Structure 1
Amino acid sequence: MNSSQNDKETLQLTTEWVLRLTEAQPRLLGFLLKRLGNPDQAHEVLQEVNLVICRDAEKFNQDSDFLAWAFAIARYQILAFRKRQSRDRLVFPADLAASLDRLDSEMFPNDVCDRRETALQDCLVQLMPQQRKLIVQRYAESLSVKSIAGELDKSANAVSIMLHRIREKLIACIESKTITEPTR
């Protein structure tokens, strides 16, 4: 490989860029999960999306919406993935994918999602420390209910009930915080 090729492959990402990409990960994963329906496939495509975003960082217009740009890349990566997986009988048809994209943007505009995410962060802070730890173990660390139950010396059913109650509390808190804010 010559020097000019090596220079092109050397990528210099700013801290701001890395933060944007990191903050976008949960939304991108949710977007992919909704369209692919399989967590393993969604994670695989997310890695491809991240590679394209990093590779094409210099093409991003700083005056535009990073998340919208990332979602556009994700859409193309979904299409590429589906093309590779076209023999799989559980692939969503392209028209269904387009309908899901349209409905998603109508039902969940970026500003609404941002407000709900901010409300969730505020609501998580209001939980008792043991409740927050339980949420982190289950959803951030992806521990199974059974393993959490073993650690707490409780039944899996008891942990499921505790998680259900915490989720209900979070939903009520998020709704109370977002319902008072005007939607645009």
Structure 2
Amino acid sequence: MSLSPDQTATFIRLLREHETQLIVYVRALMPSLSEAEDVIQETRIRLWEQFEQFEPGSNFGAWACTIARYFVMTHYTKQGRDRLRFSSEAMERIAAEVDRASQVTDARIEVLPKCISELSESNKQLLAMCYSGNHQIQEVAKLLDRTVNATYLALSRIRRSLRSCVERRIA
């Protein structure tokens, strides 16, 4: 199979967008981390191999989880651990819940920049300093001439404000 550069870029983008959903789904079905990682890798390969069959505009995450479900069932059958395998109905419920949670997360991520833009400049600066990965909280506090506790309290208030803003916007 040979995908065009555009198809390859689309596949990579979709896989990146839905990777967490896929991982959460498989991990919900498989308690063993190493076995789950194997199934996730097999699923990624199959998604790539069958990407030409994917209908653009449909739900990539649901498609990926469906393929993963077959790999999970195959894995348990090969291992002879049928007594530990979830029923198809249970797997469908888990897939639906992972999809719902993924949609909520996507909505939150979408509105978060809008909520951040509503913050005061000093609060934006504090967030940038703390979450850019360049400074530890002690360094930020020193740079802003604050105590570490005051810096933590300010961050806590900012996070509460952002959470409230996000929840209000997606309600």
TM-score by length of 2: 0.61
Cα distance in 2, alignment partners of residues 86 and 169 from structure 1: 52
Residue 90 of structure 2 corresponds to residue 102 of structure 1: no
The share of aligned pairs that are identical, in percent, is 23
Q: Is this contact kept in 2: 1:116–1:174, CA < 8 A?
A: no
User: Which of the two has higher C-alpha Rg?
Assistant: 2
Residue 57 of structure 2 corresponds to residue 66 of structure 1: no
Structure 1 residue 53 displacement after superposition: 0.2
Cα distance in 1, alignment partners of residues 29 and 162 from structure 2: 25
Could you list the per-position Cα deviations for residues 3-32 of structure 1 after superposition, in whole angstroms to 9, with x for gaps in the alignment?
A: xxxxx4x55552111111122212211111
Cα distance in 2, alignment partners of residues 43 and 30 from structure 1: 11
Residue 81 of structure 2 corresponds to residue 93 of structure 1: no
1:35 maps to what in 2?
Answer: 29
Residue 103 of structure 2 corresponds to residue 115 of structure 1: no
Q: Is this contact kept in 1: 2:115–2:162, CA < 8 A?
A: yes
Could you list the per-position Cα deviations for residues 109-151 of structure 1 after superposition, in whole angstroms to 9, with x for gaps in the alignment?
A: 1432322444678899x645445649xxxxxxxxxxxxxxxxx
TM-score by length of 1: 0.58
Distance 1:50 1:64, change over 3 A: same
How many residue pairs get aligned? The number is 143
Cα distance in 2, alignment partners of residues 39 and 121 from structure 1: 33
Which amino acid in structure 2 is aligned with residue 23 of structure 1?
E
1:4 maps to what in 2?
Answer: none
Secondary structure at the counterpart of residue 84 of structure 2 = coil
Q: Which has the higher contact order (CA 8 A, sep 6+)?
A: 2
